[in-house]
């Protein structure tokens, strides 16, 4: 998890992120088809509007995560960054978020957090890290390298980001999981958890 301080001077470090900002209704936005032929695809406002047409308005305090299918590369560093040369950051090709989509969510839906299944909130070809800056300036924490998103529904979950509380950290290892209600059982409320990720986020991104 990148805390707002990762790209925002004077913004919250990990230990200052309020606990109630680490939990929220899960919204998984599937952009797999758009990413298939464009590894530099950036999630847009229209993707969020399309999600709402199918699942209803994104609730306040939601945790909104992009599902591009990128977790299939989680064990291959080169493919995860979309490059043949990991030392050449200009060669990275990975999907991410647009700053406009982040700002739209903050203004209109007042969400808690955003996330991606790629190594970075920004697309690999970024030079200004607009998505990181937009998140930081709006005091949003940002999840990266989230996996197993296909194992939970696009809506109807509660997502938890159990971040390691590192003092003055700009980022920290985080275990992210979703709680889902199973109303098909005989009990009134049966919950199960799906482990989404156990990722390490260094205080400074590897490509900086």
pLDDT one-digit tens code per residue, 71-110: 999 999 999 999 999 999 999 999 999 999 999 999 999 9
105: in domain: yes
Number of folded domains that form the chain = 1
Please give the Cα distance from 117 to 197 (Å, whole number). 9
* pLDDT given for residue 183 in this prediction: 60
179: in domain: yes
Q: What is the mean pLDDT of residues 50-64?
A: 97
Nearest-5° Cα angle at 65, 157 to 178: 30
- Global pTM value: 0.86
* pLDDT given for residue 206 in this prediction: 41
Residue 191 sits in a domain of what CATH number? 3.50.30.50
From residue 15, how far is each of 6, 62, 184, 207 by CA, in Å?
A: 13, 21, 39, 24
Indicate the SS3 state at residue 21. helix
Comparing C-alpha atoms, which of 140, 119, 149, 145 is closest to residue 199? 145
Band of the pLDDT at 200, cuts 50, 70, 90? Answer: very low
Task: Note down the domain range covering 139.
Answer: 4-199
- Rounded mean pLDDT of the chain? 88
Share above pLDDT 70 across residues of the chain, in percent, rounded to a whole number:
87
Comparing C-alpha atoms, which of 139, 196, 131 is closest to residue 162? 196
Band of the pLDDT at 12, cuts 50, 70, 90? Answer: confident
* pLDDT tens track for 155-191: 999 999 999 999 998 899 999 999 997 663 333 333 4
206: in domain: no
207: in domain: no
* pLDDT given for residue 28 in this prediction: 98
* pLDDT given for residue 159 in this prediction: 97
49: in domain: yes
Q: What is the mean pLDDT of residues 61-65?
A: 98
122: in domain: yes
Whether the Cβ atoms of residue 47 and residue 95 lie closer than 8 Å to each other: no
Comparing C-alpha atoms, which of 92, 96, 72 is closest to residue 82? 92
Please give the Cα distance from 196 to 149 (Å, whole number). 7
Share above pLDDT 90 across residues of the chain, in percent, rounded to a whole number:
81
């Amino acid at each position: 998890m990148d805390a707002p301080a990762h790209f925002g001077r004077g913004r919250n470090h990990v230990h200052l992120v309020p606990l109630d900002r680490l939990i929220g209704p899960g919204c998984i936005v599937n952009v797999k088809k758009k990413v298939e032929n464009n590894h530099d695809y950036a999630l847009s406002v229209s993707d969020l509007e399309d999600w709402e047409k199918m699942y209803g308005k994104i609730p306040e305090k939601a945790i909104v995560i992009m599902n591009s299918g990128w977790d299939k590369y989680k064990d291959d560093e080169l493919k995860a960054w979309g490059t043949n040369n990991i030392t050449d950051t200009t060669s990275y090709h990975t999907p991410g978020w647009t700053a406009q989509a982040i700002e739209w969510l903050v203004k209109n839906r007042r969400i808690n957090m955003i996330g991606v299944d790629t190594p970075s909130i920004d697309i690999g070809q970024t030079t200004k890290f607009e998505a990181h800056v937009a998140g930081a300036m709006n005091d949003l924490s940002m999840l990266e390298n989230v996996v197993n998103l296909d194992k939970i529904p696009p809506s109807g979950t509660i997502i938890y980001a159990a971040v390691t509380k590192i003092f003055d950290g700009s980022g920290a290892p985080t275990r992210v999981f979703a709680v889902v209600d199973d109303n098909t059982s005989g009990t009134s409320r049966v919950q199960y958890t799906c482990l989404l990720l156990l990722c390490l986020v260094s205080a400074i991104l590897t490509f900086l």
